[in-house]
Structure formats: structure tokens, C-alpha cells
Amino acid sequence: MTRGRCVYCGERSGFWASACGDCKKLLARVEELRGRVGYGEFLDGLAEAGVAKEKILVFLKADPDGKGSIQDQVTAEMTSELMQVMGLKGSQSAENVKQIRKSIEKETK
Ligand SMILES: [Zn+2]
């Protein structure tokens, strides 16, 4: 992590801040929306934060902790919820989703 750069989008964030103003706004929306809405509504909710769509996409794909991107984490939560609703045991972790997504990306290339 480079000091002064946003860990999500890489833009200047100020000396001590690890995320820029836009990404902080997006993070707050993520906390508000996650677990409550479907993926489409989730993206709409992020768009309401007033941040450029390209930046939202960069934000969603960023993986500052190496635990899976925001997109992977939210997908994992939604998948786990769906599995529970359907009466299936187990849950998806963000790492799992990341692995699955990577293997799909490899196959489709
Ligand atoms: Zn940022």
C-alpha cells in the first residue's frame, strides 16, 4: 500500500487516508446495502452515491486485503444467503467466489 493513494482506485487520497472521498462514500453505501438487496439494486445504490460508473467498477474489483474484492465479498454473501433459503448447507466465502470467477475467466478466454 502506497501512502497517500487510495487502496481501492489508486487516486490521491491525502496523506493519512487509505481511501479517497469517493471510495469512502462507496464503502458507506456498501455497508448500508449489503445483505439487504439483490445485486442489481446494490449497483443502483452505489450509483446513487454520485460517483462515476467507471470508478465504481474499479472500486468493486479492488482487493486491498487480498481477501477477495468487494464484488467477490458481496457475491459470496448473496450466494450464501440463497443457499440457506434453498435449505442447502455451507456457505461461500469471498475466496471461493474469487477462485470460481478466476476459473470461469480462464475457460472463457
Ligand atoms: Zn478511491
Asked if 26 contacts 56 with a C-beta cutoff of 8 angstroms, the reply is yes
Nearest to 38 by CA among 67, 74, 87, 72: 74
Q: How far is the CA of 97 from the centre of ligand 1 (A)?
A: 23
pLDDT digits (tens, 9 = 90+) for 55-106: 999 999 999 989 999 999 999 988 888 888 888 777 778 888 888 888 878 8
Looking at residue 103, its pLDDT comes to 84
Output the pLDDT for position 1. Answer: 45
Query: 58 CA to middle of ligand 1, Å?
Result: 9
Return the SS3 of 63.
coil
Candidates 51, 45, 103, 107; CA nearest to 74 is 45
Confidence band for 109, pLDDT divided at 50, 70 and 90: low
- The three cell numbers of residue 39 are 445485486
- What is the whole-number distance in angstroms between the Cα of residue 72 and the centre of ligand 1? 18
pLDDT of residue 10: 92
Q: What's residue 95's pLDDT?
A: 86
User: How far is ligand 1, taken at its centre, from the CA of residue 27, in Å?
Assistant: 10
The CA 22 to ligand 1 mean position distance, Å, reads 6
- 14 half-sphere exposure, CB direction, 13 A CA radius: 9
DSSP tag of 5: B
In the numeric block, the cell 487502496 is attached to 7
What average pLDDT does range 9-37 have in this prediction? Answer: 90
DSSP structure string for 32-47:
HHTTTS-HHHHHHHHH
